[in-house]
Homo-oligomer: A and B are copies of this chain.
Amino acid sequence: MTTTPAPGLTAVLDTTRTLLEPALREAVATHLGPQMNRIARYHFGWSDAEGRPTGAWGGKMIRPNLALLSARAAGAEAEDGLPAAVAIELVHNFSLLHDDIMDGDETRRGRATAWTVFGVPGAVLAGDALVAAATCVLLAAPAAGARSATLAMTAATRRMIDGQAADSEFERREDVTLAECVRMAGDKTGALLGSACALGADLQGAERRLVERLEAFGEHIGLAFQLVDDLLGIWGESAQTGKQVGADLRVRKKSLPVVAALNAPGTDELRALYLRPEPLTEPDIRRVTTLVERAGGRDWAQNEADRQIAAAEECLTAVDLPDDVRRAFTEVAGFVVGRRL
C-alpha cells in the first residue's frame, strides 16, 4: 500500500480542482432553491452557519476525480466528464447528510454536522435535493451516454442505500454470515466508487467492456478500502485514525474482521463476550481484540484486502488506457486504500 504521496497524483488533483470547483458550485447554485442552497453550501464547507463564504474548498473529491479520469479513459477530455464528476459528488454528499442524521454524528471534518445546525428536517430535505440535482445534472448532459450513465449511477445509489440498511440491520442480528457482510460492504462502499470509476466513460458512450472493467476496478478498490478501514477500526493507532483505539469494538460493530472471526470454528468465548448485551470494559475490548486475531479475523481481512487490490489491478490490465490515466487510477487507488486522502 502506498504510504507517501506520489508526485503524479498531486498534479492530477491540482488540475482537476480548477475544473471541479466551479462546476460543483454552479450545480449547487442552479439546481437548489435558496433554503437548500444554504444548507448545501454549509455542508460542503463553502459557507459558515450564517451563510458567509469561508473561502474553503471542502472534501477530498476522490469520486469526482475518478469520474474525470474515467472520461479520459474513454479517450475524451477530463472536461467531458464534468457532469459525471459533479453528479457523483452530489450523490456522495447526499449520503453523508443522511448518514450523519441516522448515526447521530455531531461533527464531520471538524465542523458541526448540518442537522445539528439546521435541524433534522432541513438536513433530510437537503440530502433529498442533492440526489435530485445529481440526476438532473447527469441526465441533462449533452452526451451520448447520459441515459446509460444516469441509470448506472442510480442503480449504484440504490445499492448504497441497501448496504446502509443491511449494515444497521446487522447491528441487531447475531447470525450475520461473512458472505452477507462482504456483500453489504460491496453495496455500501463499493457500488458508488465503482460507479465513479465508470461514469465518465459511460457518459461518453464508451464500449461496454471498458465501462464494466472500470466499474469492477472501483468496486474492488471500495471493498479493499472498507477492509482497511475495518482493520484500522480495531488495530489502528489513534493518531492515524482520529478515533480511540478499539473504537469499532466498543460499539460492537459487525465489521469484516469481526464477522470473519465470529464465523470461525471454536469462537465461543468471542461470541459470548461480543454478543452479550452488557457494555464492554477496557479489558474486555483488549480480550476481544486478541480473540478476533486468534480466530484469524485480522489475517483474513488483510489477505482479502490484498486480493481485492490485485483484482482491481487486473481490471486495469485488461483494458487499453492512456499511460497517464492508468498511472493516475493506480495512484488514486493507492491513496484510497492507504487512507492518505
Contacts and interface: CB of A to CB of B under 8 A. Distances in A.
Interface of A: 31-33, 35-36, 94, 98, 101-103, 120-122, 124-125, 127-129, 131-133, 135-136, 139-140, 146-147, 150-151, 154-155, 157-158, 161-162, 164-166, 168-169, 187
A259 to B, nearest CB: 17
A162 B124 contact: no
A157 B139 contact: no
Which of A128, A157, A169 has the most C-beta atoms of chain B within 10 angstroms of its own C-beta?
A: A128
B157 A98 contact: no
B139 A125 contact: no
A176 to B, nearest CB: 13
A36 B165 contact: yes
Nearest to A165: B35
Contacts of A127: 128
14 contacts: A33-B161, A33-B165, A35-B165, A98-B125, A101-B120, A101-B121, A124-B124, A125-B164, A127-B128, A131-B132, A132-B154, A132-B161, A135-B135, A136-B158
Q: Choose among A121, A146, A157 the residue with the greatest number of B CB atoms under 10 Å from its CB.
A: A121
A129 B158 contact: yes
A33 B162 contact: yes
Contacts of A135: 135, 150, 154
Given A35-B166, A102-B124, 4 more contacts: A32-B162, A98-B124, A98-B125, A127-B128
Contact of A128 (B98, B120, B136, B187): B98
B136 A151 contact: yes
Contacts of A168: 35, 121-122
A132 B157 contact: yes
A109 to B, nearest CB: 21
Contact of A131 (B120, B128, B164): B128
B31 A158 contact: yes
Contacts of A154: 132, 135-136, 139
B36 A162 contact: yes
Contacts of A151: 136, 139-140
B122 A136 contact: no
Contacts of A129: 158, 161-162, 165
Contacts of A122: 165, 168
B158 A147 contact: no
Sorted from nearest, which 7 A-B pairs have the closest CB atoms? A33-B162, A102-B121, A35-B165, A132-B158, A135-B154, A129-B161, A132-B157
